[in-house]
Structure 1
Amino acid sequence: MALTVKQIEALKPGHERYQVSDEGGLIVRVSPSGKKSFCYVYRVNGKLKRLTLGVFPEMSLAKAREEAGKAKAARDRGEDPVEAKKWAQEAWKSTPTVAEFIEEYLHRWARPNKKSWKEDQRLLEKDVKPVLGDKKVSEVRRRDIIYVLDLIKDRGSMVTANRTFAVISRMFNFALERGVLDASPATRIKMEAEESRDRVLTRPEIKTLHQLLNDQPLWISTRMALELILRTAQRPGEVRQMTTDEIDWQERMWTIPKERSKNGVAQRVPLTDEVLSMIKVARSFSSSKWIFPSPQTSGPISTYALAQGLRKALKGSGLPRTTPHDLRRTAATIISELGFNRLVVDKILNHKDRTVGGIYDRHTYDAEKRQALEAWEAELEQILAGKVDNNGKVIDIRQAQG
């Protein structure tokens, strides 16, 4: 039962310390001296642990509940709040190394603020920590960062160099905010120009890619997730993190909650018969809530796994470089070619409509989206069967045989 401030004020000290429970794991501990402490209690591997949050009334009940909520969110992410507090206290004793501050950046900023924090972690651990990890943050110079970026560029990964620099820059700005640095070494470094990604696969390329994906010994979650990006036109990150509780089997609908949607708007995706069938097959290989589980971790497959799967499938094929997002763009483009208007395509893609009409329009467009996705599925089946040319025209069977 939720406590009130008056109830806490009325708690009297006893001969021994005792505690009173609030909600969400929050408790109030009353010592024989009359000191009243807010604590968050939880279990790790069956062992009860307690995190002290503050002392009443210096810490208000509302603030204590807020801090308990943060601790619970950390537990949900798999972290141990007590160990995190110990680590933070140790980190403040001296200027951290880059490796130590990477952990602080991930814990204090990236995880709470970025849905894609795991990508930050991957980039930092792959290319930054091995080169700069042992240096003190205060010892890093602009030249050191340029050296890290040059190593990435030398292996031909220009886009990765830009993404890594963006994370490095954010991390050192965070070091400024935390008082670790007085100036960032990441200033006045120019990012490399990138080609605008506008690749749309031709119909013959779609057929070839589909065959390549099936011929490669890819992890089944990777292969099926890539195909579902193409079939549903949804974002790769939203597809790979699909869970069983997001699927309405009766209504044949997949609801992406706003917490997982890139633009913060919930999305309803009508599911065609083939997509539903694929999800059921993928689900049969999973023992967790994830439709596309990772073979290495307890979570879903990673963004890297999708990109790597495509690279493996395309290697030596002669097809141009293709990214998971290109599959989404391809689907949207062909749906438009099938005669569906831009509004319906934008609804399928879950693009925000910032016009006045869009702000007041609360129509779900579920029926229109279903019609478009079913037309796209029919077209895709024709493509995979080799029955249409690159313009979507039906191929004469005798001509094809000839």
Structure 2
Amino acid sequence: MKFTDKGILNLKAKDKMYQLREDKGFGIRILPSGHKIWIFVYTFDGKRRQMNLGSYPAKSLVDARAAHAAAYAMLNDPTNPRDPQSERDQKHEGERQARDEHRKAPTIEKLVSEYIERHAKKFKRSWQEDERLLNREVIPSWGQLKAADITKRDVTLLLESIVDRGSPAMSNQVLKIVRKMFNFAIERDILQNTPCLGVKALAPNNSRERTLTESEIKTLWSSLDSPKVAMSNELRRALKLILVTAQRPGEVAGIHTSEIDGNWWTIPSERAKNGKAHRVYLTDLALELIGEQTVFDMETGETVPKGFIFPSPRVEIDPVTEKPIGKPIDAHALPVAVRRNLAWPMTDKNGKPLYDKDGKPATENKLSISQFTPHDLRRTAATFMAQMGYMDEVIDAVLNHAKQGVIRVYNLHKYDLEKQQALEAWERKLKNIVSGENSSNVVSILPRKKTA
């Protein structure tokens, strides 16, 4: 018989299931309930098979004919005849497995955790910065999404949102860490592809060239002594110590009394960026900024080492001993404090925000100098040492820069005396700058080569 829409619609249920067929095995089965199912009856490898093509009226006569035609063509392919039911079963099984795998696939929150534990903590000394950035910038937007569902467009929109809030440099840093996290996921066979492929930084990566002038150094030093600056005493002293010692902000923030022996501060390898222990000469001014290295223990009645020179105001309690756990100030607190004081929100006498003529929040520069970062203080100290005539090898030794090339193998000199001389000369120069005396009177203690 030839099926028609009207004929199929008028088919009535009977006490038993029955079937009607057109040619080439295309047919319809009518159940006692009245439910109608399109079928394809065929033989493959000598076995009779019956394939379900869908229910009527959800699948119309036209769609059922198309499904039958595709199955019939597969069965009668002259070059590669295949069982359409088995092919569909395999396809459905593949789709089911894909759904199961997707259901089990990690969310971004879980991927972040695995990346930090299995990669960042093992291979990056700055893993805490990765964790902080991902927790602040990525998890709030993507945390509960499947890692496999994140697209290139998602990455771009996230970066644009960071740029739009006025943090273009941060958007570049987010891209760098997110790209690394997704590459980690590919290496561990968590994902097959990265959504960061082809995504470009939205802001130019400007080279770090900022150094403070003598006038800016004097102003900053004075501002850090002023009560108008919204900053703890620990942060003020830490910023000054970066400038005096030319060491990295994170290393200064974590300085501990166990690392200090007289005038020498040894930064242990686990805290040094290049993984090499580093000796820093502490001048009188540096020791003054470090302050007392012992405290009176009320429980024992004894004087004990202070511990961290710049302790964190956030106190954590050891769940076992129920005593406070000593921690240093977070290295990230330094740049945050600087940024806040460079653009401190202004309010009226009632504490309500003030706005400028363009309707933007009015701000005050409490530090009274142009934008800078704590790391710029380290660069400033190195630059002034170079201006005083100290050679690059000595300055690199002060900064704990790794030796390059052949010199790394053959030059094993530690430069302790030279580091002491350079930092003492820089202290004299700095004191002159801060006091406002003629800094030209401070010269390098190294003899200069005569020029022809």
How many positions carry a matched residue from both structures? 300
Q: Does 1:323 align with 2:373?
A: yes
| Structure 2 runs not aligned, ≥5 long | 1-100, 297-303, 316-325, 344-363, 443-452
Q: Is the 8 A contact 2:342 2:371 kept in 1?
A: yes
The AA in structure 1 aligned to 2:248 is R
| TM-score, length-scaled by structure 2 | 0.62
Shift of 1:288: 6.3
1:331/1:362 CA distance change after superposition, 3 Å: same
RMSD (CA atoms) = 2.4
1:260/1:93 CA distance change after superposition, 3 Å: farther
Shift of 1:314: 2.9
State how far apart, in whole Å, the 1-side matches of 2:391 and 2:339 are: 33
**Residue in 2 aligned with 1:356?**
406
State how far apart, in whole Å, the 1-side matches of 2:145 and 2:374 are: 36
- Structure 1 segments (4+ residues) deviating >6 Å: 285-288
Q: Secondary structure at the match of 1:269?
A: strand
The AA in structure 1 aligned to 2:219 is T
Q: Is the 8 A contact 2:257 2:293 kept in 1?
A: no
**Residue in 1 aligned with 2:108?**
98
Q: Is the 8 A contact 1:283 1:292 kept in 2?
A: no
Q: Is the 8 A contact 1:220 1:282 kept in 2?
A: no
Counterpart of 1:228 (choices 214, 235, 241) is 241
State how far apart, in whole Å, the 2-side matches of 1:282 and 1:211 are: 25
Q: Is the 8 A contact 2:385 2:426 kept in 1?
A: yes
Counterpart of 2:182 (choices 165, 168, 172) is 172
**Residue in 1 aligned with 2:59?**
none
Q: Does 1:291 align with 2:309?
A: yes
Shift of 1:247: 0.6
Larger fraction in helix: 1
Q: Secondary structure at the match of 1:255?
A: strand
Alignment of 1:333-352 (within 5 A): 333-352=383-402
Shift of 1:214: 2.2
1:284/1:162 CA distance change after superposition, 3 Å: farther
Alignment of 1:2-401 (within 5 A): 94-191=104-201, 192-215=203-226, 216-249=229-262, 252-281=263-292, 289-296=307-314, 298-315=326-343, 316-317=364-365, 319-388=369-438, 392=440
Q: Could you tell me the percent identity over the aligned residues?
A: 43
The AA in structure 1 aligned to 2:261 is D
1:92/1:123 CA distance change after superposition, 3 Å: same
The AA in structure 1 aligned to 2:200 is K
Q: Residue by residue, what CA displacement relative to the aligned partner does 1:102-147 show, whole Å, maximum 9, x if unpaired?
A: 1121122112221111111111111111111121111111111111
Q: Using the TM superposition, name which of 258-267 and 146-155 deviates more.
A: 258-267
| Structure 1 runs not aligned, ≥5 long | 1-90, 395-402
State how far apart, in whole Å, the 2-side matches of 1:143 and 1:257 are: 43
Q: Residue by residue, what CA displacement relative to the aligned partner does 1:31-66 show, whole Å, maximum 9, x if unpaired?
A: xxxxxxxxxxxxxxxxxxxxxxxxxxxxxxxxxxxx
| TM-score, length-scaled by structure 1 | 0.70
State how far apart, in whole Å, the 2-side matches of 1:299 and 1:127 are: 25
Task: Choose 1 or 2 for highest CA Rg.
Answer: 2
The AA in structure 2 aligned to 1:248 is D
The AA in structure 1 aligned to 2:176 is A
State how far apart, in whole Å, the 2-side matches of 1:132 and 1:181 are: 16
The AA in structure 2 aligned to 1:294 is S
1:184/1:205 CA distance change after superposition, 3 Å: same
Q: Secondary structure at the match of 2:403?
A: coil
Q: Is the 8 A contact 1:257 1:266 kept in 2?
A: yes
